[in-house]
Structure 1
Amino acid sequence: MNPSTEHARLVVDELVRCGVTDAVLCPGSRNAPLAFALHAADAAGRVRLHVRIDERTAGFLALGLALRSGRPVPVCTTSGTAVANLHPAVLEASHAGVPLLVLSADRQPELIGTGASQTIDQVGLFGGAVRLAVNAGLDDAAGRRRASIARLVAAATGVTGGPPGPVHLNLPFADPLVPDDAGAGSVGRPGDEPWTRVAPVARQTGPLPLDPVAPTLVITGHGAPEGLLDLPVPVVAEPGSSAWPAAVRTGPWLLGAAPGLRPAQVVVAGRPTLHRPVQRLLADPEVAVHVLADPRGMPWPDVAGSARAVGSLPPLRPDRSWTDRWQAADAAAAEALDKALDDPAAPGGLRLARELVAALPPGAQLVLGSSNPVRDVALAAVPRPGLTLLANRGVAGIDGTVSTAVGAALVHDGPAYALLGDLTLLHDTTGLVIGPDEPRPDLTIVVLNDDGGGIFGLLEQGAPEHAASFERVFGTPHGVDVAALCAAAGAGHVRVDVPDVAAALAPAPGVRVVEVRANRAELRQGHAQLRAAVEAAVAEAL
């Protein structure tokens, strides 16, 4: 057996020993040893292989698989720019704490800088975005190579005490790159233990110095820990937060809506990123801000530099009048909001989010696109238990979201859906391209198509004084025929109106797109009218 083949088989075998169940592969020449080894492991039932032709899409597919399963997932590429195309997924995994394993094939070190084809300096390519980077040479002893893989997986999963996240294994392969024996391809026996067993490190933090009876508000965002569903204080939670099912439905609308709702102290759990009123509250010098320590060891959020302490949540027993005011305000705001959203002229994204979340079957998974979809759910949907909500909020990009949803659907035991904007769909159309021999999920992607970037109409650049330049450089209309796009990619397609969304969610095989058209021209005015209606209702209730 030639050295490259032996090395690749050892790598794949040790990854399986360390708990890897899915792997993503992109075709190439320099990574041929890994391709043969992964194919053999797939044929033997030791790993489920997913092949993609686009490295950026492959990276987000692996991220989606890891995001939903919690297990480390490798993505394997050839050398050169192929590796660089993984950088967006690596950044998302780094900031979201997702155990992504980058396996990059490489030329021998002596060829770096000689002009050899597809050769760059790959060592350290991802900088500080990865938890650990290893350049694995062919000359190392087998035990040392296995130990380094176990160390990488431990770093990716965070069991050694650091935060979980992506790691990079760079693998220089020398010719020959194809097997020269008749072996099945995998080294070792199924069920073997990892070369190095790593015990998880337990983290403990002291309680926050909170006033237990002060008017307290808990704000939760992406990555919030479990155990926040039964708190005696109001909770404003972003979708995807563990606390969202028990959150105040109209919480984002109520922040700043009335003086009687202003807290004396705030506890932040996870990383809130969606709402400007949240950031204004956290920057208020008269509000004491405290942060729950992340159980995974991720850095605590503190954009305004206002956090007074980081720790665990002590018992709280606020005055009943505080929670009563929030409940009364929420009831009034919800009634006003629903009345406004019943009007077909209300913002289409908010109406769609409300209807979609309400219509999802129990046990469903919903992947939310960045920009407006995740915010629309936060602003309009009724929080409910029994759903799994996911979103790429680590760096909150729109790239790779189709592939993330596909990956998450492949490991979810139940109905799988996604809610995306049209630009998010277009940014990752290759995510719809799944080869005939690849595992294919049952996934319904609901796309709000308002022909451009609707979210920008809600920001400063959407103000009337910028109308002359807005449409071309921010609105960016594209005129793409989504039905034709889906047909070209082999995905199903149906176009419906908001009232018909529930019927379109019936289970169907394969990947399909449910397109909902909307008009973004009145989006800014529509949101302003909704806010005015909510604030008027709250003022009357309080």
Structure 2
Amino acid sequence: MTSSRRPFREFDDSYDAESLRLARRVVRGLTMSMQHLVLAPGSRSAPLAYALREAEELGAITVHIRIDERSAAFTALGLALATGRPTGVVTTSGTAVGNLLPAVMEAELSGAPLAVITADRPEELHGTGANQTTWQQGMFAGRVRDEVHLEQSDILEGHLRLEPASRDDLMAVETQVGLLMRQATASSTTSAPGPVHLNIGFRDPLVPTGISSTQQALQRWARKPFLPAEESERVRTQQRVDDAALDTFRTVFVFGHDAPDEAVDLAQQLGHPILAEPSSGARWSDTGAVQGYRLLLQAPAGSPAAELREQVQRVVVVGRPTLTRPVQQLIRRGDVEAVQYAPRRLPWSDERLPRHRVHEIGPLAEFAGRAPAGWHEAWQEKGIAAQRLIDAALGEQEQLSSVRAAQFVAETVRTPLLLGSSSVIRDVDLAAALTRPTAEPGAAAVPVAAGAEPTRAEPRSADRGSADRGGEDRRIYALRGLSGIDGNLSAAAGVALHRQRRVTALVGDLTFLHDLNALLVPSTEERPHLDIVVINDGGGAIFDQLEHGEVARRRGNEKAVERFFGTPQSAEIEQLVRGFGHEYRRADSVEQLRAAVAGPDDRVGIRVIEVRTDRAPLRDFHAELAARAAEL
């Protein structure tokens, strides 16, 4: 029996080129859930560009143009991290698609809903030597949650429909695209958000017909974004935990990157100490995470801090801790039981994860148990002592170091902050007391010197990592999926574009140089309001803190290690920045850095603040700090 139903048509553009008609249906499917899209211009993707122009004029989506595809992809990734919604990046065919891979890899392991939308040559041109033609289908296989290929020739053959038979016609372009976007944000114990791939084979002609702009405006074909309310079913610890039914254990909660918020409440309710990485969201907890925790975990055997550390019986891991070996050593200790809190599928792990998974708050509370009297207080007191020790060591330095600069910026800026991969985020993790009382912007901040009180004050309520992370004024972002140094500036720009306010990126010199194209903003486009603080120590400082630094101290190895690992550079950052047409400032002291980052939040455009430091003394500084930990 054949259906007598006629096609379900909401608008008529039958006058136009078929490639444009296909592109409009794709955009309709995108705008059901997408607010932002980043386009890197090209010829084969022209139908999408024209359709996006129309959709933007109709208020259905915001389009950002970037010249470099890798930068475009990381800008979209930053937008996805800031919004939690699918965010698209559109490219033409060929090597343009290959430039998306680094961002896809990061999105895969960070659970970011990045939608890569790639224009392709039609299938009949593959294998003919046609320009910019390569096999793009499945290019990101194994790294995306799902992928869909739409071939324009399938419309003629009846395998793909522009005019659906109903609103939910599975053969319709719009429906297929909408369902693909759902896969980007699906979150449960069996699925995690992540990247998706939409590949589209367009046939010539790739430009619209000569319809007048007045007729075009009357079409009003684009959908306004349908943005569902945030999930309200998130398990909270207001589901009362019966303390009388819980055993007593000396447990610590380790919070890694992107930790679920409800676990903070549980740790506080049960009275356990919190060891929190900067991008975990738990560093802002209103009882205060343990300051200087890394130094406590490094304290030598026989010290009071080591004795406290040895008392740990159980560890609850929340999020993904990636920054320090002492944390991993604690989790893997043979006499310690460890579980991973995973209320939804973790994008970065599989069943081979040695830690037992706990999916719900109730069983997690049973595992953690109640803290014995004084357990939390002991960690807090030792943490304050460790922070005071770190502050004193930094206060004794004659010149501004990268650690001191990172500490100051993280504690002082009143904007969302993206921390670059490599040394910078580790310096913040070690030294920054994010709840330390600071002066208002433009005034003197709390000095770091011997005897300075690290933190006892409550943070402002807006600072706390809460369920509504998007509303935080000082949320900390980081690309910890793969922790690469590529794309950090572009991601920060994406965050700034969504928030429509100033964002600060704190990065090292190699991270900055690796993403210079983030400074290349077309003159037609809105410039993100972005402060980029570059700690320039002339190369890669992190390698000296690893085993390679010890090798470099062996006779005859120093130059080889510096060449093959240190990657020394002497780029003139000021000239580069001014060449891109942005503001530049230099800071060689805390006072100059304070003046540079101070100022009104409504200043516009991109500013780069360069902090020149010397990485040579860093290994000795860290060694001395570890030796002083014996006092804790």
TM-score norm. by structure 2 comes to 0.79
Distance of 2:26 and 2:314 partners within structure 1: 51
- 1:148 lines up with 2:197 in the alignment: no
Distance 1:198 1:121, change over 3 A: farther
Q: Identify the match of residue 35 of structure 2 among 21, 25, 29.
A: 21
Answer yes or no: is 1:462 the counterpart of 2:549: yes
Query: 1:345: how far off?
Result: 4.0
1:290 equivalenced with 2:339 (yes/no): yes
Cα contact 2:390–2:625 (8 A) shared by 1: yes
Indicate how the Cα distance of structure 1 residues 278 and 414 shifts in structure 2: closer, same or farther if over 3 A, else same: same
Q: Which SS does the other structure have where 1:104 is aligned?
A: strand
Which stretch has the larger CA shift, 251-260 or 19-28? Answer: 251-260
Does the aligned pair in 1 maintain the 2:194–2:347 contact within 8 Å? no
- Larger-gyration structure (1/2): 2
Quick check: 1:492–1:511 contact (8 Å CA) kept in 2? Answer: yes
On the 8 A contact 1:221/1:272 being kept in 2, the answer is yes
Please tell me whether the aligned partners of residues 101 and 167 of structure 1 are also in contact (alpha carbons under 8 angstroms).
yes
Distance in 2, matches of 1:201 and 1:389, equals 23
Q: Is the 8 A contact 1:449 1:517 kept in 2?
A: yes
The range that moved more, 6-15 or 428-437, is 6-15
SS in 2 for 1:444: strand
Range moving further from structure 2, 384-393 or 74-83: 384-393
Aligned partner of residue 93 in structure 1, secondary structure: helix
- Equivalent position of 2:276 in the other structure: 237
Alignment partners' CA distance in 1, 2:95 and 2:34: 26
Matched, 1:537 2:624: no
Distance in 2 separating the partners of 1:294 and 1:60: 27
**Structure 1 residue 204, shift from structure 2 partner:** 8.0
State the Cα deviation string for residues 428-452 of structure 1 (Å, max 9, x = none).
0000111111121211000100000
> In structure 2, what residue type is equivalent to 1:188?
W
- Give the equivalent residue in structure 1 for 2:358: 310
Once residues 221 and 302 of structure 1 are traced to their aligned partners in structure 2, the CA distance between those partners, rounded to angstroms, is 19
Residues 1:485 and 2:576 are matched in the alignment: yes
In the TM superposition, what is the alpha-carbon distance from 1:288 to its structure 2 partner? Answer: 0.3
- Tell me whether 267-276 or 311-320 shows the greater mean CA deviation: 311-320
8 Å CA contact 1:61, 1:406 repeated in 2:
yes
User: Is the CA contact (8 Å cut-off) linking 2:420 and 2:505 kept in structure 1?
Assistant: yes
Cα offset, 1:192, TM superposition? 7.4
Please report the RMSD computed on the Cα atoms of aligned residues, expressed in angstroms.
Answer: 2.5
Q: Which runs of 5+ in 2 are unaligned?
A: 1-15, 165-171, 300-305, 436-458, 464-473
Question: For residue 435 of structure 1, what is the amino acid of its counterpart?
Answer: P
* C-alpha spacing 1:388/1:192, structure 2 compared with 1 (3 Å): closer
Match of 2:446 in 1: none
Q: CA deviation at 1:242?
A: 1.7
Pick the aligned partner of 2:593 from 480, 501, 526. Answer: 501
Preserved contact between residue 261 and residue 325 of structure 1 (Cα < 8 Å): no
In the TM superposition, 1:106-145 aligns within 5 A as: 106-138=120-152, 139=155, 140-142=160-162, 143=164, 144-145=172-173
| 8 Å Cα contact 1:162/1:296 also seen in 2 | yes
1:377 paired residue number: 428
Corresponding residue for 1:396?
A: 483
What residue number does 1:442 align with?
529
Letter in 2 for 1:252: R
1:80 pairs with 2:112: no
Equivalent residues of 2:67, 2:521 under 8 A apart: no
Deviation at 1:468, TM superposition (A): 3.4
Q: Does residue 54 of structure 2 align to residue 5 of structure 1?
A: no
Asked if 1:261 is matched to 2:309, the reply is yes
* Corresponding residue number in structure 2 for 1:214: 249
Question: Which amino acid in 1 is paired with 2:416?
Answer: Q
* Residue from 83, 105, 111 that aligns with 1:91: 105
After superposition, the Cα gap between the structure-2 partners of 1:30 and 1:159, relative to the gap in structure 1 and judged at 3 Å, is same
Rounded Cα–Cα distance in structure 1 between residues aligned with 2:394 and 2:331 = 29
1:331 paired residue among 377, 381, 384: 384
- Aligned amino acid, residue 323 of structure 2: L
Residue deviations 1:254-287, cap 9 Å, x none?
1142122231100000110000101111221111
Q: Which amino acid aligns with 1:510?
A: G
Amino acid at match of 1:382: A
Match of 1:275 in 2: 324
Offset, 1:130? 0.4
Aligned amino acid, residue 328 of structure 1 = E
Q: Report the AA paired with residue 423 of structure 1.
A: L
Deviation at 1:498, TM superposition (A): 3.7
Structure 1 residues 102 and 484, CA gap change in structure 2 (3 angstroms): same
The one-letter code of the counterpart of 2:594 is A
Per the alignment, in what secondary structure is the counterpart of residue 191 of structure 1? coil
Q: CA deviation at 1:332?
A: 1.4
CA 1:300–1:212 in 2, change beyond 3 Å: closer, same or farther?
farther
Matched letter for residue 507 of structure 2: L
Asked if the contact 1:261/1:326 (under 8 Å) is kept, the reply is no
Q: Distance in 1 between matches of 2:434 and 2:624?
A: 23
Aligned partner of 2:55 in structure 1 is: 41
In 2, Cα distance between the equivalents of 1:164 and 1:222? Answer: 15
* Separation in structure 1 between the aligned mates of residue 493 and residue 585 of structure 2, nearest angstrom: 19
What residue is the counterpart of 1:177 in the other structure?
206
Closer, same or farther in 2 for the Cα pair 1:504/1:296, shift >3 Å?
A: farther
Q: Tell me what 2:372 maps to.
A: 319
Distance, in Å, in 1 between the alignment partners of 2:566 and 2:294 is 25
**More deviation, 5-14/499-508:** 499-508
* Partner in structure 1 of residue 511 of structure 2: 424
Give, in angstroms, the shift of residue 20 of structure 1.
1.3
Q: Is the 8 A contact 1:347 1:527 kept in 2?
A: no
Q: Structure 2: how far apart are the matches of 1:469 and 1:409?
A: 40
| Cα distance change, pair 301–234 in 1 and its aligned pair in 2 (3 A) | farther
Paired residues in the alignment total: 529
Structure 1 range deviating more: 419-428 or 106-115: 106-115
Q: Is the 8 A contact 1:158 1:296 kept in 2?
A: no
> How far is the alpha carbon of 1:522 from its aligned partner?
1.1
Cα distance, 1:296 vs structure 2 = 5.4
Cα distance between partner residues in 2 of 1:302 and 1:327: 35
Structure 1 residues 252 and 421: alpha-carbon distance in aligned structure 2, compared to 1, 3 A threshold:
same
SS of 1:129 mapped into structure 2: coil
Amino acid at match of 1:377: V
TM-score by length of 1: 0.92
Comparing 176-185 with 458-467, greater Cα deviation is found at 176-185
- Shift of the 203–367 alpha-carbon distance from structure 1 to 2, 3 Å rule, reads closer
**Structure 1 unmatched ranges of 5 or more:** none
Task: Confirm or deny that 1:342 pairs with 2:395.
Answer: yes
SS of residue paired to 2:389? helix
Distance between the aligned counterparts of 1:192 and 1:27, measured in 2? 23
Q: In structure 2, what residue type is equivalent to 1:106?
A: D
